Amino acid sequence: MCGIVGACGALDFRDYLLNGLRKLEYRGYDSCGLFVTDGSFSLLERSVGVVDNLDKQVPTTFEHTPSVGIAHTRWATHGGVTISNCHPVYSFDRKVILVHNGVIENFVQIREFLAANKISFYGNTDSEIVANLIAYYLSTSAKDMLEAIEMATSKLNGSYSLAIVHLAEPHRLYFAKNLSPLLIGKGQGANYLASDQIPMAEISREFVDLKDGRFGYITKDEIHVYFQGQEEKVKLVERSSENLDVSLNGYPHFMLKEIEETPSCIERLIKNYVFHDEYTFDPKLLKIIERASEIIFLACGTSYHASLIAVDLLRSKGKLASAYIASEFAYHPVVMTKNPLFIIISQSGETADLLKCVPFIQDNAYHLLTITNNRYSSLARKAEYYLNLYSGVEVSVASTKVYQSELALLFMLLDAAFIKGHHFNELREQVKCLEKIIAHKEKFIPVAEEIAKYDNLFFLGRGIDYSTALEGALKMKEVTYINASAVQAGELKHGPIALISNEFPSIAFISEEKTAHQMRNGFQEIKARGGRVFVVSSKSLSLEDDDIIVCDSPLYLSPMSKVMVAQYLTYYTAIKKGLNVDKPRNLAKSVTVE
């Protein structure tokens, strides 16, 4: 789970590589490094921590003008977070230098093979074995770098995108790709490589979206792509017109900016899926949804929580529906009927646990709809039907606006397929409600400052509010490191209440009339044991003393308001605790390893 940038030609390498890494830090940020050369001079700099640390190490001007350069931001999988495990990694003869994103599953066997051939290693990464394998073939049997790369990659099991430099060929940048994303950007007097379009957005208008199994090289003005030994015609596609803006625009943090982008994201979704007051979803897809014997959602983390709301909505319409965490489904698939529809939901579209589920769906010829926020992602490419979330880039590791877009899109899709209504107008009203919450965000600061004093926290809800509680607890624990967990409020007395004390508060959501009374009875039991309850309620169900009151919404849209409150509380709590809000420890934005 790493980010790669590289380039060949005439450009400001320092600026492209370092800023490119900054734009890819969402893919991992525990260490980083870069390598540049023109053949006579080379520079390898690596550093633990964020890109700003590396920036301080890299001279403001290079001794010579480089002709090729590569850089990498890492999220450790094999080997600890140390300088020797940072990329770029180099081969035993120091001639092959590369950056790698992915996981080589058979790296132990390859390492043994290389060790038997007297090749030693300086670090613990699976990436170093790839550099050595290429250098080994080049020094034994391959006629050139291309052949060495083809021979080496044919021995690799697993995922990789590689940007590779050979010291003797400083005017070429080699690459190989399988199961990890890699794009080539076409520029003026230079060509580029990157894990996604964002680092190249301002410099290339066209790019090549590399398919699995491809390898080749770029020069300053040529692009050569090979597959199974044959050169392929290069297919250039226009740069995405989607919002690739990754600047803070005056906000102190991306998390805050992205929470507040939610209304515009939902409006953009409505614009993309509603025309002349009619939904524009593919009628064939709507038929499949309608006729499916059951609907099975697969997702992870935040996206899984969004799918739980859709399951509730479907079940309320009498439709058989379930949601599974992808890492579980991949090994324990459950299909109860003959004609299911699978819906995969993923912000990034690169989540390995989800990719692992796809062969099962395809081998059984089940229908598959994929929803992602990146139409060029691996999951989007594998989709039978695809829907884009159009949320623009989400930089903060904690997903906020995309979760909301997932809810909104699922609501519209199921409305079109089952309810056959025009409830997008309710969604428009919901946007206004979210704008009101944003306008009054200062109210959340004292509540968050109170929460920041505690180490433990329950999120309580019943019915649809339990899904919100799950999402609230996930946000709180990943960003503030408070030990937060969700409890179905009725279950509290069956065990979890044992934890309640004056040091263990709860945040409770109330959106549903039929359980509001029972929720409040439960608060008495908590208070009787010294526990504090922060109540977040819908207006018509609120009491004067409730801590946060939001506007009334239709039941299946109410999670949007409650979750936005939970997002704000998380944000302000993390600020109070002085934490790195956008880059919580141990996490990366796209989880491309199992």
At a CB cut-off of 8 Å and minimum separation 6, what does 484 contact?
456, 457, 458, 459, 472, 473, 474, 476, 477
- Closer Cβ to ligand F6R, 167 or 244, answer by number: 244
Nearest-CB residue for ligand F6R: 301
328 vs 432: CA distance, rounded Å:
38
Least spacing, CB of residue 385 vs ligand F6R, in Å: 18
Contact (CB, 8 A) for 116 and 162: no
Closest CA to 299 of 307, 291, 289: 307
Does residue 265 have an active-site annotation? no
| Residue 477: closest CA among 579, 373, 564 | 579
Tokens 């540049």 correspond to what residue? 36
Rg (CA), the chain: 25
C-alpha separations of 130 from 29, 211, 245 in Å: 22, 20, 34
Q: How far is the CB of 432 from ligand F6R (least distance, A)?
A: 26
What residues line the site for ligand F6R (CB under 6 A)?
Answer: 300-303, 346-348, 351, 354, 398-399, 474, 478, 590-591
Our CB check for ligand F6R shows the closer of 348 and 561 to be 348
**Of 515, 54, 433, 132, which Cα lies nearest the Cα of 523?**
515
Q: Report the C-alpha gap between 281 and 284 in whole angstroms.
A: 9
Output the smallest distance, CB 305 to ligand F6R, in A: 8
Minimum CB separation of residue 407 from ligand F6R in Å reads: 13
Shorter beta-carbon distance to ligand F6R: residue 45 or 260: 260
CB 141 within 8 A of CB 99: no
Which stretches of 141-217 are DSSP H helices? 145-154
Residue by residue, DSSP assigns 288-327 as HHHH-S-EEEEE-HHHHHHHHHHHHHHHHTT--EEEEEHH
Nearer to ligand F6R, 132 or 302 (CB): 302
Of the residues 95, 319, 401, 589, only one is catalytic, namely: 589
- For residue 576, how far is the Cα from the chain centroid? 26
In the complex with ligand F6R, the residue whose CB is nearer, 142 or 371, is: 371
Closest approach of Cβ 588 to ligand F6R, in Å?
9
Active-site annotation holder among 2, 32, 86, 433: 2
The kind and range of the H/E element at 107 are helix 107-116
32 tagged catalytic: no
The residue among 98 and 398 lying less far from ligand F6R, judged by its C-beta, is: 398
Tell me the C-alpha distance between 307 and 297, whole Å: 6
Shortest reach from residue 531's CB to ligand F6R, in Å: 26
Q: Report, as residue numbers or ranges, the catalytic residues.
A: 2, 589
